[in-house]
C-alpha cells in the first residue's frame, strides 16, 4: 500500500500540485443548450457534466404521476442521471437503470426537492433534471449538484438558496479537500465525505460518508467539505451575478435603441 506522503508531499502539496485545502479549477457556463428551459455546463478539474432542466410542466412520467396522486398539493422533481460511455478511464457500456445511476438520481432528486421553493411551484406539476456526465474524475456528485443549481437558476425556477456541494477525503491522516478520482480510490477507497449545503439559509441538505471512519475524524472531514462548498458558493454567485448583469445591460441597450 501507498504511504500517505505519496499523496501529500512533506511540503504539503498533492500529486496534482494542489495544497490540501485547494479546490480544483472550476469552469462553468450557464445556458449551453438552447432547447432546454435551463441548462449548465460545469468543469471541476477533469470532471465534466452537462445539466438540462425542464419545467415546471405537466406531469408526463409515470413516476411523477404516482407521486402526484400521493401528494396532490405539491410539484414533483424528477431526475435522470446518465454517464457517457467515454466518461471513465475504461469505456463502459451504458446500462439503463443500474444501481449507481439510480442512487445518484435519487440523491439529486431528494436534495433538490428540498432546495426548490416547492410551495411556490404550481402543484401537480413536474420539474425534470437531466444530468449527463461527460467525463468523471472524482467528485461526480459534487459537480452534478453545483451544475444543477446553476441550471435551475438559468431556468428561472425559484430556489430557496443555492445548493452548493463539495467533498473531502481522509488520506491516511491528512484531510484533503475536493479529491480527484485517484485520491478517492487510494487505499482501496479512502473515507470520502460529500456535503451539500444551503450557504445563506444554512443547513446541510445532503451528507454522504462512505467507508469506515473513526467518529473523531468525522467532524473535521465534514467541516472541510463544508468550507469547500462555501467557496463554491461565492464562485457560483459571481457567475450568476455577472450573467444577470450582462443580460440586463443588453436588454436595456436594446430598449434604448
Partner 1 sequence: MSNTSLLPLLSSSERQFILQGVASGVRSDGRGRLDARDIILETGLLPQANGSARVIIGNTDILVGIKADLGLPSQQNPDQGRIHCNVECTATVTNAVDSRDADSDAETLGHVITRIFVNSGCIDLKKLCLIPGSVCWNFYIDAMILGFDGNAADAIAQAVRAAFSDLRIPRVVIDTGSTPPTVEIDEDLRRAFCPVDVAALPLSMTMWKVGMSFLVDPTPAEEACASGALLVAATATGRVCLVQTLAGGAAQYSESAQATALPVPRGESTGAQAGAPPVAVVSAGGMNPHSIVDMLSTATEIAQSVARKQDEALRRVAEASTRSHGAGKSAHFVDQSVGFFADSFAATSGN
Residue number with CB closer to partner 1 (171 or 236)? 236
Q: Cβ–Cβ contacts within 10 Å for residue 180, how many?
A: 21
- Distance between CA atoms of 143 and 228, rounded to whole angstroms? 12
Q: Which of 195, 172, 166, 192 is nearest to 23 (CA)?
A: 166
Q: Exposure of 74 by Cβ count < 10 A (0-12 exposed, 13-18 middle, 19+ buried)?
A: middle
Nearest-10 crossing angle of helices 99-113, 140-155 = 50
Residue number with CB closer to partner 1 (25 or 120)? 25
Residue number with CB closer to partner 1 (94 or 120)? 94
- Distance between CA atoms of 211 and 55, rounded to whole angstroms? 37
Question: CA torsion sign, 210 to 216 to 222 to 225?
Answer: negative
Residue number with CB closer to partner 1 (69 or 85)? 85
Who's near 134: CB < 8 A, 6+ residues apart? 48, 49, 50, 84, 87
Quote the least distance from Cβ 245 to partner 1, whole Å: 12
- Distance between CA atoms of 108 and 206, rounded to whole angstroms? 9
Residue number with CB closer to partner 1 (71 or 247)? 247
Bridge-based pairing of strands 38-44 and 26-30 is antiparallel
Quote the least distance from Cβ 73 to partner 1, whole Å: 25
Quote the least distance from Cβ 208 to partner 1, whole Å: 22
Quote the least distance from Cβ 212 to partner 1, whole Å: 29
Q: Which residues of the shown chain bind partner 1 in the complex (CB under 8 A)?
A: 18-19, 21-29, 32-36, 39, 41, 46, 48, 50, 52, 54, 80, 82, 84-91, 94, 128, 130, 132, 134-135, 137, 227, 231, 235, 238-239, 242
Beta strands of 146-217 (E only): which ranges?
164-171, 174-177, 192-197, 204-210
Residue number with CB closer to partner 1 (18 or 124)? 18
Residue 196: helix, strand or coil by DSSP? strand
Quote the least distance from Cβ 257 to partner 1, whole Å: 22
Quote the least distance from Cβ 19 to partner 1, whole Å: 6
Quote the least distance from Cβ 174 to partner 1, whole Å: 16
- Distance between CA atoms of 168 and 230, rounded to whole angstroms? 13
Residue number with CB closer to partner 1 (7 or 41)? 41
C-alpha cell read off for 232? 463554491
Amino acid at each position: 500500500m501507498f504511504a500517505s506522503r505519496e499523496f501529500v508531499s512533506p511540503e504539503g502539496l498533492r500529486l496534482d500540485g494542489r495544497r490540501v485545502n485547494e479546490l480544483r479549477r472550476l469552469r462553468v457556463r450557464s445556458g449551453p443548450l438552447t432547447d432546454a428551459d435551463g441548462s449548465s455546463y460545469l468543469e471541476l478539474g477533469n470532471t465534466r457534466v452537462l445539466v438540462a432542466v425542464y419545467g415546471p410542466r405537466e406531469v408526463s412520467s409515470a413516476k411523477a404521476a404516482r407521486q402526484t396522486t400521493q401528494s396532490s398539493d405539491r410539484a414533483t422533481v424528477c431526475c435522470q442521471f446518465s454517464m457517457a460511455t467515454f466518461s471513465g478511464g475504461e469505456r463502459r457500456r451504458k446500462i439503463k437503470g443500474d444501481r449507481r445511476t439510480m442512487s445518484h438520481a435519487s440523491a439529486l432528486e431528494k436534495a433538490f426537492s428540498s432546495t426548490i421553493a416547492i410551495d411556490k411551484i404550481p402543484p401537480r406539476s413536474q420539474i425534470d433534471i437531466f444530468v449527463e456526465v461527460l467525463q468523471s474524475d472524482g467528485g461526480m456528485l459534487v459537480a452534478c449538484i453545483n451544475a444543477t443549481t446553476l441550471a435551475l437558476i438559468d431556468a428561472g425556477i425559484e430556489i430557496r438558496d443555492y445548493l452548493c456541494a463539495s467533498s473531502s477525503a481522509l488520506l491516511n491522516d491528512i484531510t484533503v479537500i475536493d479529491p480527484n478520482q485517484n485520491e478517492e480510490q487510494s487505499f482501496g477507497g479512502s473515507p470520502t465525505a460529500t456535503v451539500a449545503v444551503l450557504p445563506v439559509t444554512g443547513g446541510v441538505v445532503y451528507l454522504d460518508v462512505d467507508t469506515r471512519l473513526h467518529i473523531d475524524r468525522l467532524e473535521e472531514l465534514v467541516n472541510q467539505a463544508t468550507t469547500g462548498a462555501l467557496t463554491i458558493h461565492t464562485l457560483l454567485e459571481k457567475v450568476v451575478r455577472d450573467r444577470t448583469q450582462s443580460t440586463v445591460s443588453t436588454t436595456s441597450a436594446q430598449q434604448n435603441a
